[in-house]
Every structure is written in structure tokens, then in C-alpha cells.
Chain A
Amino acid sequence: MIKEITILPGKDKNDHKENFDQITLKAGETISIVGPTGSGKTAFITDIELLAQGDTSTGRYILINGKKPAEEVRYDPAQKPIAMITQNTKCFADLSVEEFLYIHARARKINNKKIVNDTMRLANKFTGEKITLQNKVTLLSGGQTRSLLIADALLIGAAPIILLDEIENAGIFKQEVIEIIKSTSKIIIFVTHDPVIALLTKKRLIMSNGGVRKIVSQNESESGAAKNLLEYDQKMGVIRENLRAGFEITKELVSANFA
């Protein structure tokens, strides 16, 4: 059982030790990683995904329940407690959606074909373009690929720790994904440029120059702001879907009414 993960500091791009003693994330917690491109956001979650033991470019260490993870946990996908959704929107495997999901299920020691259908159905909730089991994964669009990989991480990866790298990209239904993920007791880490996602998480890590610069905890006034922003974001979503469908955008549709 994973109760918490701990990140011990490494070094930034100038070889300076990072400005924290340790970061501990408990089950059910959400955290966002923000900062400009190249500031080390993806490297941070990659360290977690690889369960780094001082052997990545940052030199960080990751502990599970306060202890160094066993070698098998690091190297056997079936035992890995982490699922990561990278920014990749491309699959290279010359396989159909069905084969891809089934082999991945085998890698995760799930011998149940039902999971393949369930995963595809969940993926279709995140994207407007329908995915079928017969589609080649190499031919899926960017949005379809990400939707499939998110559904795969939730159901086949089924890991207690989920890492999401810029989920707001590639035109998927972000709100749906956040809703489903928040209803679990997982540790969820978002790398994001999206203020809505950043404000919805309990903690924010501010990155710069390859290292963690600051850790900010969400306060009450911020969670109020987050609610307003969420409404605004939903409105943006409606406008986007209207634009996509070829409708005219009226003045009423974009009228803002902030509290």
C-alpha cells in the first residue's frame, strides 16, 4: 500500500542544491508543477516515474512510504506504482488499439479482456472523435492518443500515483478527466501551464532553472478564486465547442460576470 511518496532534493542546472528539505505527498493529495518551459517540470515528474535514486540528471531521490523502493519495484512494470501521461501524442507501435491495450494489460499482469473494452469506452469520454478497437494506434490523432493513454493509465496502469504532463494540450475534455481523477484516492501530480488546474490543486511547486524554487499551499481565498475560474473555463469550453461546430459566437455567450 502506498501511503506517501517523498522527494529528496537534487541539483538545479547550476549545480546548486534545491531549496527544500523534502517534499512529501500523501494519498488523495493533488499537486501542480508550474514554471516556464525548460524550468525542469517534466524532469521532476520523470524522476518520480523512474523512482530516481540519484541516478538521473537532477540527482534527486524518491522514497515510497519513507523507504528506498526495492529494485523489482523500479524495474518491473507490473509492480510499478506509477502511471505517467507524457506530452507525447504519438504511438509508434504497429498495433491496433485492442492489441496495444491487451499487451499492456499483460505487462501489468491483468488477464482479463474486459479491461480492453472498458479502457476504450473511458477514452471515448475524453475525446470527441470516437476511437474503435480496430484503429491502428499509429493513426490516432493527438487528442485520441492522449485520451487513450489517460484511460490506459487509469484502468490498466491503475497506479496509486498518477503523473500528468500538460493534460490541457491536445484538445481533450479536460474537465471530464479532472473529475474522474479527483474522485479517487490517488496521489496526482499535474505539470501544467493552465491556471485552472494549478489553482485546483492543494499545493503548487514553482520551478526555475531545473530546480524547485518555492512550494505554495492553496489557501481559502485561492480556492474561492479557483471556483470562479472554473466557471469561466467552462464557458470557454462552450465557446470552443460552438466555434468547432461552426456556430456564430454571440455577444451574450462571451459576457463575463465575475463575482
Chain B
Amino acid sequence: MKLVIIAGPPSTGKTALTKQLIRRFQNEMKIAYLKIDVVKAFEDIELRKEFNILTKKVYSGDLCPDHAEVMVMGDAIEWAESTKADLFIVESAGLCLRCSPYLNQGLGIVVLSSIAGIHTPEKMGAMVSLADIAVVTKIDLVSQAEREVLIQKIKEVHPKIILLETNALQGTSLQRLYNLIKNSADIDKETLQLKGNPPLGVCTICVGKKEIGWKHHFGIVKKLDSLAAEYLYRGE
């Protein structure tokens, strides 16, 4: 089974891209689809209706969506395999931008909108820097020069990323992506791992203390003005 994980901020065109992938592959592969979202999602119903494929969704609620993904992915892959799927597409909300949902196998695709703002690639951190492929959408809305400026910014964050531009509603220029998916290796579920480092999760904030100010907490404690680096805390 091939695995494709699609991440990106809301309303960038992840589902529009997913639809193009399904349209392209539905006659040659059996496709299963999982949507991970926080509060509400309709894509599973929409895709099931439109393409008659197997879909599932999970809401993370108060848990971060990437944490939720780590928890459910094992079962989700078992499920997709049990349906005899050849291609498993996972679409993730990826909201806080600290983490990325990509695994060490399959393809990680980040979807960015041309009109998202020029600093977005830098702000999105691991979601861009750990992706295999970046798909820039809504290219019909901006000038070629502006698209090239955004692409340059993405390349400066991740020089080796494979870049594609598309109008995802029409599915223009996606041939290269189709080839990459077609030629991607099957996953081995015994050795699947998160690509990025998870965030630190052993602090009093994580366990639910709501008080603000460092005096109320223990674990990773730092005062506002004692920051040595740009980050409050960074792992190894």
C-alpha cells in the first residue's frame, strides 16, 4: 500500500488536490482516505459521495491534531490495509505549525496557497521543511512574478523540496505529482515513524494547569526576559 500524507493550513486547497488525486487514480488503485481534523470536517462524506471510496475521519478535540495522528495512525493503516487499499491518503489539519504529520515512508505533501502571504513558508516550520513535495495552489489568482517570489521563499526554507504549481480546482500541471505517487514505494508498517521530533510534552501546562507565570509551573521553566535564544524551549 502506498501512503500520501497531505498537510497545510485550512482553505489552501488540500481537499481540491485530494480530489484530483482520486480522479486520476480511482480506476487503477483502490483508495482509502482518512481526515484528521480538530472540530469539524465534511470531506469524508463529500469524497465518499462523489467517488464512492472508503473514508474515515477523526476529530482531535482538545488534543493537538498531530498528537491525535500519532495515536490513531497505527489503527488507520491497519484499517486501510484491511480494505485492500492500494493507496491511502491522509489529510491533516496541522494547525499549530509546531509539528508535521509526515512519516518516514510514503510521501509528505504540503499545500500552500499563492495568496497566503509571503512569510507563510517560514512560519509553517516543519510542515514545510520536512515535506517531500510542496504544492502551490490558486495560481490563477496571482501574477507569475509573485508566484516565483513565493517559490523562492519556499526554496529558502527547504532547498530540496519538489515544487509544483497548480490550479487545484482544474488540476493543472499535476502530471509530475501523479508520477511521484505512482513510483513511490509501498510502506512497511512495522518501521513507520514520525519524521519530525514531537514537541516536549512533560510540563505542567501540558497536564492542564491554567495559571500563567513561571512561578506556578515546574519542568521547563523560563522567564520572559531570560530568553537566550528565539525559542522558549527547543529539543536536541
B147-186, CB < 8 A from A: 148-153, 155, 162-165, 170-176
Chain B interface main SS type: mixed
Contact A152 B173 (CB under 8 A): no
Using known A-B contacts A52-B173, A55-B175, A56-B170, determine if residue A91 contacts B146 with beta carbons closer than 8 Å: yes
B117 (CB) vs chain A CBs: closest residue: A94
Interface check A23, CB cutoff 8 A: no
- A71 surroundings in chain B (CB, below 8 A): 176
Contact A88 B173 (CB under 8 A): no
Interface check A185, CB cutoff 8 A: no
Interface check B212, CB cutoff 8 A: no
- A88 surroundings in chain B (CB, below 8 A): 141-143, 146
- B153 surroundings in chain A (CB, below 8 A): 103
Q: How far is the CA of A163 from the CA of B177 in the complex (A)?
A: 26
B interface, size bucket: 20 to 34
> A107's contact among B140, B148, B173, B174, by CB below 8 Å, is which?
B148
Most A CB atoms within 10 A — which of B151, B165, B173, B174? Answer: B173
Contact A75 B164 (CB under 8 A): yes
Q: How far is the CA of A95 from the CA of B148 in the complex (A)?
A: 14
Residue tally, chain A, CB below 8 Å to B: 35
Contact A49 B144 (CB under 8 A): yes
Contact B173 A103 (CB under 8 A): no
Chain A interface main SS type: mixed
Interface check A85, CB cutoff 8 A: yes
A55-82, CB < 8 A from B: 55-57, 71, 74-75, 77
Contact B117 A92 (CB under 8 A): yes
B150 (CB) vs chain A CBs: closest residue: A93
Residues 175-206 of B, flagged 1 when their CB comes within 8 A of A and 0 if not, give 11000000000000000000000000000000
A95 (CB) vs chain B CBs: closest residue: B118
- A50 surroundings in chain B (CB, below 8 A): 165, 172-173
B173 (CB) vs chain A CBs: closest residue: A50
- B149 surroundings in chain A (CB, below 8 A): 93, 95, 100, 103-104, 107
B177 (CB) vs chain A CBs: closest residue: A55
A57 (CB) vs chain B CBs: closest residue: B170
Contact A152 B172 (CB under 8 A): no
B114 (CB) vs chain A CBs: closest residue: A92
A104-127, CB < 8 A from B: 104, 106-108
Contact B172 A55 (CB under 8 A): yes
Interface check A84, CB cutoff 8 A: yes
Contact B144 A93 (CB under 8 A): no
Interface check B234, CB cutoff 8 A: no
Most A CB atoms within 10 A — which of B118, B153, B155, B176? Answer: B118
- A100 surroundings in chain B (CB, below 8 A): 145-146, 149
Q: How far is the CA of A88 from the CA of B153 in the complex (A)?
A: 21
Interface check B215, CB cutoff 8 A: no
Q: How far is the CA of A108 from the CA of B145 in the complex (A)?
A: 10
Interface check A83, CB cutoff 8 A: yes
- B155 surroundings in chain A (CB, below 8 A): 107
A87 (CB) vs chain B CBs: closest residue: B143
Q: How far is the CB of B166 from chain A (nearest CB, A)?
A: 9
B153 (CB) vs chain A CBs: closest residue: A103
Q: How far is the CA of A230 from the CA of B60 in the complex (A)?
A: 65
Q: How far is the CA of A153 from the CA of B145 in the complex (A)?
A: 8
Contact A104 B145 (CB under 8 A): yes
Most B CB atoms within 10 A — which of A93, A95, A106? Answer: A93
Q: How far is the CB of B136 from chain A (nearest CB, A)?
A: 11
Most A CB atoms within 10 A — which of B115, B140, B144, B171? Answer: B144
Can you give 13 A-B contacts (C-beta < 8 A)? A52-B172, A55-B171, A55-B174, A57-B170, A74-B173, A77-B151, A91-B142, A92-B115, A92-B116, A92-B146, A103-B153, A104-B149, A157-B145
Interface residues of chain B, those whose CB is within 8 Å of chain A, are: 114-119, 140-146, 148-153, 155, 162-165, 170-176
Interface residues of chain A, those whose CB is within 8 Å of chain B, are: 46, 49-50, 52-57, 71, 74-75, 77, 83-86, 88, 90-95, 100, 103-104, 106-108, 149, 152-153, 156-157
